[in-house]
Structure 1
Amino acid sequence: MSEGRSLLVYVIAGEPSGDALGAKVMAGLIQASGGTVRFAGIGGSEMTGQGLVSQFPMNELSIMGLLEIVPHIPRLLRRIDETVREIERVQPDIVLSIDAPGFCFRVARKLKQKGGVVPPLVHLVAPTVWAWKPKRAEKIARFLDHLLVILPFEPPYFTRHGLATTYIGHPSVENPRGDRAAFRARHAIPQEAPLLAVLPGSRGGEVSRLLPVFGETVTRLAARHPDLHVAVPAVPSVRDAILAAVAGWPVQVTVTEGAGEKADLFAAADLALAAAGTAVLELVLAGVPSVAAYRVNPVSYHIARRLVTLQHFTLPNILLQREVVPELIQGDCTADRLLAALEPLLSETPQRKAQQAASALLFDMLGGNTTPPSRVAADKVLEIAS
């Protein structure tokens, strides 16, 4: 960092989960630096709330699936070049990229290939080399300077290739505890009524593939439990699609937005139906018994299934090495099977109790009783930049 000027951190996030994590790290940087740090980069509403002016809309990068990305390649390549040029123009003291490896790693590689004075390149959230394509670890060690990982077993995959790696803990352990009674009162949901949280994902493709079967499942569950209420936390990019899809559901559906509402919903919900992803871990840590589901383009699924060697899809099951959260993926993601997995979670069954017990185990395993992960990340970024 140059004498006499404040630290400039260029931050890149490519999807809502990265935006939320980026905002937490930015808050940690502001606190740790005494408010002298400045930001540039790419992010969403959460990072904007911490003072970032995004270079372009983050949702342009939120694309999932091997085939789904193809039509967007020209625009993504253009955005990569624009990002590299902007980093060269503003000359940050450090670049912190968060998840979204398809975009972030291309930016990092281009910066290193161009040579000259390149700021330290730090990436937060490791690619899942332990699940598929393990040789990626060696490749990214060539262009990253430091990797911040969020799972306890990840460091050896990268340090063996000479990449400095720090385990910070999982950001989901920092999620605030919500207010059950306040959420239900605010949205006119009786305190004793069963409340199902539905989380269809944060990308358009996820929402379009999952909400139809989720809607059919909700219809059947409501027929058996007439007092059922449903709530859906939405990110801005898919809110309209969600509102349109749930308009025909035969139950009261509350669609919310924002981190505070999401925390309160997790406190208020009795069970959840969620797209397999970070949300499943968040739900389990919050003590909400859940069912995980996923559907992608059939060709994308076939290719991915040949590459992925893991027995489980969701982090709670991967970490515990057993299926605690039911996973209904692709062909198994039907209303019949989702209903059969959900219904036992409405009462004090062994399935519900097993998930509640797993919550405490995972919280401790992922750093819930130590320094907040975002502060660990912020301190490491400051250390590297200095």
Structure 2
Amino acid sequence: MLRRVRRYAWFMDAHIPSPASAPLIWILAGEASGDVLGARLMQALRARNPAIRFAGVGGVRMEEQGLRSLFPMRDLAVMGLVEVLPRLRALSARLNEAVQDIEARSPDLVVTIDSPGFALRVLRRIRGLGIPRVHYVAPQVWAWRQKRVKEFPGLWEELLCLLPFEEEFFSKHGLLTKFVGHPVLQSGAETGDAARFYRKHGVKEGAHVLILMPGSRRSEAPRLLPVFGKMLALLRQEMPDVVPVIPVSPVVAATVARETARWPVRPVIVTDVQDKHDAFAAAGAALTKSGTSTLELALAGVPMAVTYRVNPLTAFMARRLIRVPYVAMVNLLAGRAVVPELLQEQCRPSVLARAVRALFEDPEMGHEQKEAFKTVLQGLQGPGGTLPAEAAADAVLQLLAERSQKEQGL
């Protein structure tokens, strides 16, 4: 019997790659949404090949999957044409650090996720290393500065995109692109439990629960939260039972707590994903920045208005470059103004208060939004009904297999 066990053990040792010979994927995420994408991709890859190793940069979610981040992901969480200027030296140092780590490790494949300002610079710097590269989440050049697409050939072997129209757009420019579906469909945003939210936070059932989503970057939240606070002061005059809820990532949790300490009504700040989804289930309305958060709320069926404010110079430059009629993703995908967009000059307490009150008080508006949400979400399904993370993992593994075959001369 012992001899059989030893023979079986030898067989297993001979067929399971040692840690040193297992594929190494260097993966980069630069903000909270990319961290979630990266974690799901890592999980899907490990489900297919448990021996895969990871190195790179990520946040809490990716670290939960075993990544030891080269440096804190929060160092990269900055946006805006003007806002980034004071951080250029620090970002340049992190860029050098990332490139040097890739050079030293010589991974089998590099995956960069979103954050094009940083990620594409990494891809450009490692172009001569002969390492296959995948960029996950297409740069939104179809929205503004479309001429930039001419800079992309040679930056990656494959582009994985989230929106159905992106595959055609980039393919027309000779870039190998694959639509994998939108990860919001895996978020679980529609699975919340309103009763659990009421119990946990001591909120009276039937209260006007208002979701406020100021952004996942440290440069976003401080710009929107003061306006949200003043809006609440106005809103409470007619809706005294309003309960503001702010779902935040760990990256900005301390900032949000500090910025809201003197609000007329203290918000419920949630950092747990399930708690956020429970809040969605309890909510009657939401006020959110533009971006993926609009799709999360759409999946949860929460009527919303979209708002945003950036540095005036950034706004001036953006308006000259933007080539799409809407900034809210749900509006862009629907091809019409499904939800109100209250941007820049309209991002004022009085305007926001009126919009939120209308969402609570006009059932027809909410019904129309929810019907439009269903159509938008249907268009985000991945190929053949595959979950987005699984489709992305399959694309990554295909590139790894192609590299292996090339090295073996097959």
**Coarse TM-score class (shorter-chain normalised):** over 0.9
CA shift for structure 1 position 240: 1.8
Counterpart pick for 2:32 among 3, 16, 37:
16
**What's the secondary structure of 2:252's corresponding residue?**
helix
How far residue 367 of structure 1 moved from its aligned partner, in angstroms, is 0.6
Say whether the 8 Å CA contact 2:229–2:264 is kept in structure 1: no
Asked if structure 1 preserves the Cα contact closer than 8 Å seen for 2:32 and 2:251, the reply is: no
Residue 373 (structure 1) aligns with: 388
- Secondary structure of 1:357's partner? helix
Give the match for residue 192 of structure 1. Answer: 206
Give the aligned partner of residue 54 of structure 2.
Answer: 39
Shift of 1:260: 2.2
Deviations 1:9-55 (A, max 9, x none): 1110001111111111111111122x221110000011111111100
**Whole-angstrom distance in 1 between the partners of 2:329 and 2:52:** 33
Could you tell me whether the CA contact under 8 Å between 1:129 and 1:157 is conserved in 2? no
Which residue does 2:107 correspond to in 1?
Answer: 92
In the TM superposition, what is the alpha-carbon distance from 1:362 to its structure 2 partner? Answer: 1.6
CA distance in 1, matches of 2:48, 2:381: 20
154, 158, 181: which one pairs with 1:146? 158
2:14 corresponding residue in structure 1: none
Per the alignment, in what secondary structure is the counterpart of residue 63 of structure 1?
coil
CA distance in 2, matches of 1:93, 1:267: 43
Cα RMSD, aligned residues only: 1.6
In the TM superposition, 1:158-177 aligns within 5 A as 158-176=170-188, 177=191
Of 336, 339, 344, which residue of structure 2 is paired with 1:322? 336
Asked if the contact 1:149/1:155 (under 8 Å) is kept, the reply is yes
Q: Deviations over 1:328-381 (max 9, x none)?
A: 110011112112211121135322111111221122111179211111101111
Structure 2 residue 120 is the aligned partner of structure 1 residue 68: no
Of 42, 60, 63, which aligns to 1:26?
42
- Unpaired runs of 5+ residues, structure 1, are none
Map of 2:305 onto structure 1: 291
Question: Is 2:357 the partner of 1:343?
Answer: yes
Partners of 2:315 and 2:97 lie apart in 1 by 32
Structure 2: distance between partners of 1:227 and 1:140: 51
- Whole-angstrom distance in 1 between the partners of 2:260 and 2:209: 15
The residue that corresponds to 2:232 in the other structure is: 218
C-alpha separation between the residues in 2 aligned to 1:83 and 1:20?
20
Identify the residue that residue 97 of structure 2 maps to in structure 1: 82
Distance 1:240 1:173 in 2: 29
Match of 1:256 among 249, 270, 276: 270
Post-superposition shift, 1:248? 2.2
User: Which position in structure 1 is the counterpart of 2:247?
Assistant: 233
SS in 1 for 2:398: helix
Specify the code of the residue in structure 2 equivalent to 1:146. E
CA distance, structure 1, for counterparts of residue 155 and residue 252 of structure 2? 34
Match of 2:286, SS? strand
Counterpart amino acid of 2:391? V
1:356 maps to which of 359, 365, 370: 370
2:10 corresponds in structure 1 to: none
Contact 1:63 1:69 in 2 (8 A): yes
Which of 315, 323, 331 is equivalent to 2:345?
Answer: 331
8 A contact 1:137–1:157 mirrored in 2: no
SS at match of 1:216: helix
SS in 2 for 1:223: coil
SS of the aligned residue for 2:139 comes to coil
Contact 1:175 1:263 in 2 (8 A): no
2:130 pairs, out of 113, 118, 135, with 118
3-state secondary structure, aligned to 1:312: coil
C-alpha distance in 2, partners of 1:349/1:265? 19
Determine which of 195, 206, 227 is the counterpart of 1:181: 195
Listed as ranges, the gaps of 5+ residues in structure 2 are 1-16, 402-410
For residues 144 and 235 of structure 2, what CA distance do their matches in structure 1 show? Answer: 36
Q: Which residue number in structure 2 is paired with residue 156 of structure 1?
A: 168
Q: Deviations over 1:291-318 (max 9, x none)?
A: 1111111001101110112111111000
* Contact 1:98 1:123 survives alignment (8 Å): yes
The size of the alignment, in residue pairs, is 381
- By how many angstroms is 1:258 displaced? 2.7
CA separation in 2, counterparts of 1:135 and 1:262?
39
CA contact (8 A) 2:27 2:57 kept: yes
Which residue is 2:281 aligned to? 267
SS at match of 2:236: helix
